[in-house]
Amino acid sequence: MSFRRFLVKRIAISLVLTLVSVSIIFLTLRLLPGDPFSSLIASGGLTQEQVEALRVQYGLDEPVYVQYIKYVQSLLTLNFGFSIAQSRPVSEIIFPRLLNTMILLVPALVVTAIVSSALGSYAGWNRGSWFEQSSIVVTTFFRSTPVFVTGIFFLIIFSYQLDLLPAFGMRSPVANPEGFVETYLHPDFAMHYFLPFLATVLYYSGDFLMLARNSVVERKGSAFLTLHRAKGLSEMEQLARAGRNSMLPLLTYFALRLGMMFQGVITLEVVFAWPGIGRALVLAINQKDYPTVQAAIFIMAFAVIVMNLLADVMYAKVDPTVEGGDV
């Protein structure tokens, strides 16, 4: 199978998966009991006539299949509609919070991949040492502990007991930053950033450490390292060669993890009151704000699909035998 055919097939599968995911999102929300305005009638905030007018305004009075067609058409143009709860375009709610989430998670994932891969390679090269055993125990502990539990533990220790770092938010309540630099490159931001960043790094460190360790263990007795040893390369130079040959599974896993990083972000953002897309999703679900929920989940699902596609393509470029396999 040529690479072009392989790529077309993978893109077609990704498009089908995207359509399936947006359909599930749409149907799940419509199967929920009640609608966004039911509580307003019960509380006396709006009359039945006013609620009916709102349903017409947001298209909720139309048949479900018409709502679905309009929903898919709007996604194709990245028009996420109007928020029911906040009365403003969903894009104004989602995109700034998506940026906050990316600023929290992408640097954390990059740092985790680099540091944990290096430590994992060293642990695999020194198999049976105290460093290998202790690093496995520590990273397995944090990987098996839910990230929100680690976050709550950090809040209790560093914020409430030691009073070293702020507990919630991205900036202090009195701060009123303007612009990217003043918002994200400020000591006050760094103080709020440290705890959720540390919780994220520790949570994902076990995956990269074990993957790098196992790859180096497999390659330590290989013929090419024996040849390098015969050439007189030092231990560190041999370790560097073994680590370089372990990059393919690490890069693939990094791409997959980058797409799935939203999985753990929702609870983490709620614990630290981080104004990201996960916290916006939780608030929108509580308010039954259909357009915002649909947009937030669509972005998360689309990220997973795109990064899976990227990982497949990257793997196929590096290892041509993958192209010939079944899709």
Domain final residue pick, 89, 115, 130: 89
Same domain, 175 and 212: yes
Same domain, 53 and 182: no
Rounded to 5 degrees, φ, ψ at 16 are -65, -45
CATH number, position 249:
1.10.3720.10
Q: What is the pLDDT of residue 195?
A: 92
Same domain, 147 and 70: no
Q: Please indicate, yes or no, if residue 80 is contained in any of the structural domains.
A: yes
Domain count across the chain: 2
Q: What is the pLDDT of residue 325?
A: 52
Q: Please indicate, yes or no, if residue 324 is contained in any of the structural domains.
A: no
Same domain, 70 and 214: no
Same domain, 84 and 114: no
Q: What is the pLDDT of residue 319?
A: 63
Q: Please indicate, yes or no, if residue 285 is contained in any of the structural domains.
A: yes
46: pLDDT confidence band, cut at 50, 70 and 90? Answer: low
Same domain, 194 and 249: yes
Q: What is the pLDDT of residue 233?
A: 73
Q: Please indicate, yes or no, if residue 104 is contained in any of the structural domains.
A: yes
How large a percentage of the chain has pLDDT more than 70?
88
Same domain, 81 and 214: no
The domain in which residue 45 lies consists of: 3-89
Q: What is the pLDDT of residue 198?
A: 92
Q: Please indicate, yes or no, if residue 239 is contained in any of the structural domains.
A: yes
Q: Please indicate, yes or no, if residue 153 is contained in any of the structural domains.
A: yes
Same domain, 73 and 103: no
Please state the pTM of the whole predicted model: 0.77
Q: Please indicate, yes or no, if residue 19 is contained in any of the structural domains.
A: yes
Domain final residue pick, 64, 89, 114: 89
Same domain, 62 and 104: no
The answer on pLDDT for 324 being more than 80 is no
| pLDDT mean over 305-317 | 79
Q: Please indicate, yes or no, if residue 326 is contained in any of the structural domains.
A: no
Same domain, 135 and 220: yes
Tell me: the pLDDT tens digits for 89-99?
888 888 888 88
> If you average pLDDT over every residue of the chain, what do you get?
81
Output 6 or 224, whichever has higher pLDDT.
Answer: 6
Domain final residue pick, 44, 61, 89: 89
Same domain, 79 and 105: no
Rounded to 5 degrees, φ, ψ at 228 are -65, -35
How large a percentage of the chain has pLDDT more than 90?
8
> Residue 5 CB: number of other CB atoms within 10 A?
10
Same domain, 110 and 248: yes
The answer on pLDDT for 327 being more than 50 is no
